[in-house]
Amino acid sequence: MTYQPGDRVTLQHTTDPHTLLRPGDEGTVRRYDLQSQVLDVAWDSGSRLSLLLAEGDRVLPATVTADGWQRALDALRAAGAAAGRDAAGWWAQHSLGGRARGDVTAVARQVLRGVEDVDPAVLGELPTAEPYHLAEDADRYAEHAPPDAPPWEQLTARQCDQARWAWCDGYDDAANAEAARQCRMLLHPDGDDRDLTHVHPDRVRLGGPGVFAGDWAWQPNADGQMRIPVGFVGTLVDRWNGWAVFTCTRDVAEAIVADQQAVRDCFRQSLAEAGCPEVDLDRRTDQSVGRMFFDGDVIVADETPVQDDPEAIERIGPDAEGRYIVMGRSWTWIPGDPYDCDRIAGTLPAPPVDAEQGLRGKDVTDG
């Protein structure tokens, strides 16, 4: 047999006792001396060991080009990913869906934290590929490898391992991602399945997005869990005595005004149920919860009865971009977890392309 420069070969055996090359290693032929049967190979591992074919060294033609083999691995990884997503869907039905028992929101939170932290205890409870069912490898390969891929029987031991792990890695990565997506949909009030870790309270930075609520907003729901009825999407622009100051769009500002009115209505109703005379309801409500309304494009926050101060009126206009700072440096706003909110006012931005982007803003001292 002859070899030409550029041919791909796979090591089958070498008599050299000192080389680090192993059967299955591949390389590219540099030259071949037919008379002496010396084969010079540039091995993929970096070795430049020449093979003495006349003395028992043996190679086989590589069964597939590097690009072709990568296509085969990509196809196996994609097939594993499809199987992993399906498995995670079944997991979600039993752990989060109609077949689940107990507090599924607690399960979803634990899984999200575990996937983000790569916690083995959590990942071990999610669907996982079994890499040691060797009898399945050939069947998977035959089903999913491209038509031009070499037969399973012609693969080297190294290629068999690569094929096995491509499928398993695709399965595990997709199963974890799909399980996390199912958890996000369960926890988000609108079923948003996007990764929202970039707006987690611990990652909100100056100039970055967040979901904000008053520190007074927490309320128990029907199950006794403490929840935030509504969170407001905005951009953090300052901190004041430890509290958040954020800007928001007109739609979000309107939601804040509406929420304040809902608080007033709820307080007034509680007074009525407690037996407060009708003629006193408005006065006592005004003394306890400030009025807030729009006057054109300006928000009017009237707390004169609350503070017993005729000058306790704040007029909040939009900035040049039409955004509002609603009661910044007056109310005690905090960044909240979107998954703690029953409703979110405003549109949450997509996660940054750079996963680290959400961590780049700088902190400022309170003041």
% of the chain beyond a pLDDT of 70: 95
For range 240-255, the mean pLDDT: 96
Q: How do residues 23-32 score in pLDDT, each as one tens digit? A: 888 899 999 9
Across the range 306-335, mean pLDDT stands at 95
- What's the length of the chain? 367
pLDDT tier, 362 (very low <50, low <70, confident <90, very high otherwise) = very low
Pick left, alpha or beta for residue 296 (phi over 0 → left; psi -120 to 50 → alpha; otherwise beta): left
- 141 is a domain residue: yes
Does residue 273 sit in the same domain as residue 166?
A: no
Residues 159 and 212 in one domain: no
Query: Residue 319 domain-assigned?
Result: yes
At 53, the pLDDT band (50, 70, 90 cuts) reads very high
Both 258 and 349 in one domain: the answer is yes
Tokens of 169: 């890695």
Together in a domain, 353 and 252: yes
In a domain, 2, yes or no: no
> In this prediction, what percent of the chain has a pLDDT beyond 90?
65
Q: With 90 as the cut, is the pLDDT of residue 245 above it?
A: yes
> Is the confidence at residue 72, as pLDDT, over 80?
yes
Whether 49 is covered by a domain: the verdict is: yes
pLDDT of residue 24: 85
Cβ atoms 271, 264 nearer than 8 A: no
Distance between CA atoms of 247 and 299, rounded to whole angstroms?
A: 14
Q: How confident is the model at residue 359 (pLDDT cuts 50, 70, 90)?
A: very low
Residue 48 lies in a domain: yes
Asked if residue 50 has pLDDT above 60, the reply is yes
**Domain end call among 137, 162, 187:** 187
294: pLDDT confidence band, cut at 50, 70 and 90?
very high
State yes or no: pLDDT of 366 exceeds 50. no
pLDDT at position 361 over 60: no
Instruction: Pick the last residue of a domain from 187, 207, 222.
Output: 187
Does residue 3 fall inside a structural domain? no
Largest CA-CA distance found in the chain, in angstroms, rounded: 115
DSSP secondary structure of 89-133: HHHHHHHTSTT--S-HHHHHHHHHHHHHHT-HHHHTTS----TT-
3-class DSSP state of 46: coil
* Residue 39, φ and ψ in degrees, nearest 5: -110, 115
Quick one: tokens of 205? Answer: 């930075």
- Residue 193 in domain: no
Position 365 scores a pLDDT of 35
Verify that 287 and 303 share a domain, yes or no.
yes
DSSP 49: P
DSSP structure string for 13-41: E---SS----TT-EEEEEEEETTTTEEEE
Looking at 16, 44, 61, the residue that finishes a domain is 61
3-class state of residue 43 by DSSP? strand
Q: Which residue has the higher pLDDT, 359 or 124?
A: 124
* pLDDT number for residue 159: 87
How many structural domains is the chain composed of? 3
Crossing angle for the helix pair 278-288 and 250-273, nearest 10 degrees?
130
3-class secondary-structure state, position 250 = helix
Average pLDDT of the chain is: 88
262-288 average pLDDT score: 94
pLDDT on residue 129? 92
Tens of pLDDT, residue by residue over 222-233, are 778 899 999 999
**Phi, then psi, of 293 in degrees rounded to 5:** -160, 165
Same domain, 181 and 322: no
The predicted structure's pLDDT at residue 363: 40
Same domain, 268 and 121: no
**180 and 273 part of one domain:** no
* Cα gap 234→212, rounded to integer Å: 7
- For 125-166, write each residue's pLDDT tens digit: 999 998 877 778 889 999 999 887 878 887 878 888 999 999
Least confidently predicted of 38-47, 55-64, 82-91, 245-254: 55-64
* Whole-number Å distance between alpha carbons of 256 and 248: 10
* Average pLDDT, integer, range 243-265: 96
Look up the domain containing 222 and give its range.
199-359
**What pLDDT, on a 0 to 100 scale, did the predictor assign at position 63?**
62
C-alpha–C-alpha distance, residues 324 and 349, integer Å: 18
How large is the average pLDDT for residues 178-185?
A: 91
CA-CA distance, 317 to 298, in Å (whole number)?
A: 5
The span from the CA of 320 to the CA of 324, in Å, is 10
* Pair (248, 282) in one structural domain: yes
Of 306, 312, 314, 343, nearest to 217 by C-alpha is 343
